[in-house]
A and B are shown apart, each in its own frame.
Chain A
Amino acid sequence: MADVLLQTRGLTKKYGEFAALNDVSLTLRRGDIYGLVGRNGAGKTTFFKCVMGLAKSTAGQIEMVGGQNLNAARRSIGFMINPAFFPYLGPRQNLSYLCKVKGISAKTEPDRLLQIVGLQGVKKPYKSFSLGMKQRLGIAGALLGSPPIIVLDEPINGLDPQGIADIRNLISQINQQLGTTFLISSHILSELDLVATTFGFIEQGRLVKEISHTDLHENTRRSLLIDVNSGEKAAAVLIEQMHIDQLSVHGNRLVIGSQLDKPNEMVRHLVQADVEVYSVMHQQTTLEEYFMRLIGGGNNA
Chain B
Amino acid sequence: MLNYLLAEIYRILHKRSMYIYFGILAVFSILLIAVAIYVLEGVTAGDAPAGIIVSYASTFYGMIPLLLGCYLFAAIYTDDLASKNLGNLIGQGMSRMKIVLGKFILLVLFCVVTFGLAPLYTAAIFTVLGAAPTLADVGNLYIIVVQQALVAMGAAVVASIVVYGLQRPTFALVTFLLVVLGLVGQILSIVFSLDAVYSLAPWLTDCLMLFISGQVAEALASGTALLSPLIRCILYFAIAITLSILAFRQKELEF
Contacts and interface: CB of A to CB of B under 8 A. Distances in A.
B223 interface: no
Interface in B1-17: 3-4, 6-7, 10-11, 14-17
Contacts of A62: none
A45 B253 CA distance: 12
A83 B120 CA distance: 42
The list of the 3 closest CB pairs from A to B, nearest first, reads A100-B7, A84-B84, A74-B93
A98 interface: yes
Highest count of chain A CB atoms <10 Å: which of B16, B87, B93: B93
A172 interface: no
24 contacts: A45-B255, A49-B252, A52-B91, A53-B93, A54-B252, A55-B252, A73-B93, A75-B92, A77-B91, A81-B91, A82-B84, A84-B83, A84-B87, A84-B88, A85-B83, A87-B83, A93-B11, A96-B10, A97-B7, A98-B7, A100-B10, A101-B7, A101-B89, A103-B3
Contact of A88 (B10, B17, B95, B255): B17
Interface string A83-110: 0111111000100111011110000000
Query: Chain A interface: which size bin?
Result: 20 to 34
Interface residues of B, number: 27
A100 B3 contact: yes
Interface string B106-138: 000000000000000000000000000000000
A101 B14 contact: no
Contacts of A87: 82-83
Interface string A110-122: 0000000000000
Interface in A34-50: 45, 49
Nearest to A52: B91
Highest count of chain B CB atoms <10 Å: which of A82, A86, A98, A103: A86
B210 to A, nearest CB: 33
Nearest to B82: A87
A84 B83 CA distance: 6
A71 interface: yes
A72 interface: yes
Interface of B: 3-4, 6-7, 10-11, 14-17, 79, 82-85, 87-95, 252-253, 255
Given A88-B15, A102-B3, A52 B90 contact: yes
A79 interface: yes
A282 interface: no
Contacts of B93: 53, 71-75
A9 interface: no
B3 A56 contact: no
B79 A86 contact: yes
A49 B253 CA distance: 8
B11 A86 contact: yes
Given A89-B14, A97-B10, A101-B88, 13 more contacts: A52-B90, A54-B253, A55-B252, A55-B253, A71-B94, A73-B93, A81-B87, A84-B83, A84-B84, A85-B85, A100-B7, A101-B92, A102-B92
Contacts of B17: 88
Contacts of B95: 71
A229 to B, nearest CB: 57
Contacts of B84: 82, 84
Contacts of A79: 91
A167 B127 CA distance: 61
Nearest to A125: B16
A85 to B, nearest CB: 6
Interface in A11-39: none
A291 to B, nearest CB: 25
B90 to A, nearest CB: 5
Contacts of B94: 71, 101
B255 A82 contact: yes
A101 B4 contact: yes
Contacts of A86: 11, 79, 83, 85
A153 to B, nearest CB: 9
A106 to B, nearest CB: 14
